[in-house]
Amino acid sequence: MRFAGNVIWFILGGAITALIWLIGAVVFAMSIVGLPLSRAALEMAKMSAFPFGKDVVHVRELDGKGLTLATGTTGTIGFVANVVWACTFGIVLFVSYIIAGIINCLTIIGIPFGIQSFKLAGLSFWPVGRRVVSRELAAVARQHAAEERFTKLRGTRAA
């Protein structure tokens, strides 16, 4: 089902939205300052082209360093990069995903595609610091991050 969903998605608009992500990646890659945006745009282009069977996780959930540690892609620089992205390509992608989601949800068969469109609409504003992974890997990363937070919470209450 994932394969069929991805093929239908790609033909009916996934290729176009992935192309918008790629154009954004190229535009921001032209400046050294925009390289974090280029990396994020390439990650989201993968998701936009073939979204079924994939999920997006925060980079801190993958590297095991915890969500509280701020780095270039998750700290102030990442915040500024996300704001720049949201004001440029983010708004275009958001509107395109919302329109696609509404159109897809008009039919019963299109509802799964509409749900993917709405999920991608939310991601289109804040891509820096996110990685596209399989659903299975995302579940493991989230479980591990939850266990770490639980352990820290338990440790602070015991003290």
Longest CA–CA separation in the chain, Å: 57
Greater confidence, 159 or 87? 87
The CA–CA distances, whole Å, from 78 to 37, 40, 44, 59, 116 equal 9, 10, 16, 12, 25
List strand residue ranges (DSSP E) for the chain, in order. Answer: 54-58, 130-134
Q: Is residue 29 part of a domain?
A: yes
- The predicted model gives 21-27 an average pLDDT of 90
The CA–CA distances, whole Å, from 94 to 60, 82, 119, 134, 145 equal 24, 14, 10, 23, 28
Greater confidence, 156 or 95? 95
- The number of folded domains in the chain is 1
42-62 tens-digit pLDDT: 888 988 899 998 888 888 777
pLDDT at 13: 82
Q: Is residue 155 part of a domain?
A: no
The backbone torsions φ and ψ at residue 118, rounded to the nearest 5 degrees and listed phi first, read: -65, -35
Q: What is the rounded average pLDDT for all residues in the chain? A: 83
pTM of the model: 0.75
74-114 tens-digit pLDDT: 677 778 888 888 888 889 889 988 998 999 899 898 898 89
Print the domain residue range for 80. Answer: 2-55+71-134
* CA atoms of 39 and 102, how far apart (whole Å): 29
Q: Is residue 95 part of a domain?
A: yes
Share of the chain above pLDDT 90, in %: 11
Q: Is residue 44 part of a domain?
A: yes
Q: Is residue 157 part of a domain?
A: no
Q: Is residue 75 part of a domain?
A: yes
Q: Given pLDDT bands bounded at 50, 70 and 90, which one contains residue 64?
A: low
Q: Residue 138: which residues within 8 A CB-CB, separation 6 or more?
A: 55, 56, 57
pLDDT at 106: 93
Greater confidence, 153 or 157? 153
